[in-house]
């Protein structure tokens, strides 16, 4: 298959970047404005993956306030205000930048994430990665979010390549790929909760440096 005929679509949090430390810090900061919390790092980390609204709902649920829409709205608004420009504790996973540079020279790249578009672009810009992703579908691009297939299908259509792979780290990403009928590549060092072998991945990897060669060797 010609390399430019294959498009690679990536998740963001837990796949390219480890943003859990910042998300945990911001969550506790905004919860404290209502006299709530704190929540542990592992608790908040386990809530990541379905977008900001679900994250806040899970945080409030853990504190016994999951049925308060007004509180959810206030906390979500405060979280969004801080989230876009907070990257101090966020890191790319080892080898990500180098691997993306190699992959971008061979394949069209896109991003499909449940993080809203503005903070997605901000964090990519922070790490010098924004220009590698001409196509970005965020958690607020459409009414639907992953694991609904619509965001991934939109990313595919905007890439205009004949074949696609979706690379992610979680159960949400695996379900999204299945729903969209796209082969799934699983990065194991992110926010996944279940066994890697249970997620139906075409390729399972734990090292970004090895990924370009592994993709080139796939029998697609």
Please say if 88 is a catalytic residue.
no
Lowest-pLDDT range of 3-7, 59-63, 85-89, 203-207: 3-7
Instruction: Indicate which residue of 5, 11, 22, 131 is catalytic.
Output: 11
User: Do residues 27 and 44 lie in contact, with contact meaning Cβ atoms separated by under 8 Å?
Assistant: yes
> Of 49, 58, 157, whose CA–CA distance to 113 is shortest?
49
pLDDT over 60 at 2, yes or no: no
- Residue 88 confidence (pLDDT) above 90: yes
pLDDT-based confidence at 128, cuts 50/70/90?
very high
Instruction: Domains for the chain: give ranges and CATH numbers.
Output: 3-19+90-216 (3.40.50.1000), 20-83 (1.10.150)
Task: Let me know the angle formed at the C-alpha of 168 by 56 and 154, rounded to the nearest 5 degrees.
Answer: 85
Buried b (16+ CB within 10 A) or exposed e, 109-144: bbbbbbbbbebbbbbbebbebbebbebbbbbbbeee
């Amino acid at each position: 298959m010609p390399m430019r005929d294959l498009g690679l679509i990536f998740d963001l949090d837990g796949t390219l970047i480890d943003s859990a430390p910042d998300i945990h810090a911001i969550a506790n900061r905004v919860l404290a404005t209502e006299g709530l919390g704190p929540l542990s790092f592992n608790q908040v980390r386990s809530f990541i993956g379905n977008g900001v609204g679900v994250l806040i709902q899970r945080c409030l649920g853990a504190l016994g306030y999951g049925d308060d829409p007004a509180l959810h709205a206030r906390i979500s608004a405060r979280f969004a205000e801080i989230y876009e420009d907070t990257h101090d504790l966020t890191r790319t996973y080892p080898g990500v930048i180098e691997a993306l540079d190699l992959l971008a020279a061979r394949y069209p790249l896109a991003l499909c994430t449940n993080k809203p578009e503005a903070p997605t672009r901000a964090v990519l810009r922070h790490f010098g990665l924004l220009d590698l992703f001409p196509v970005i579908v965020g958690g607020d691009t459409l009414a639907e979010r992953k694991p609904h297939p619509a965001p991934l299908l939109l990313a595919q259509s905007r890439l205009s390549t004949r074949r696609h792979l979706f690379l992610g780290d979680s159960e949400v990403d695996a379900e999204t790929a299945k729903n969209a009928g796209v082969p799934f590549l699983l990065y194991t060092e992110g926010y996944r909760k279940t066994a890697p072998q249970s997620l139906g991945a075409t390729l399972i990897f734990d090292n970004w440096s090895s990924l370009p060669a592994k993709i080139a060797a796939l029998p697609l």
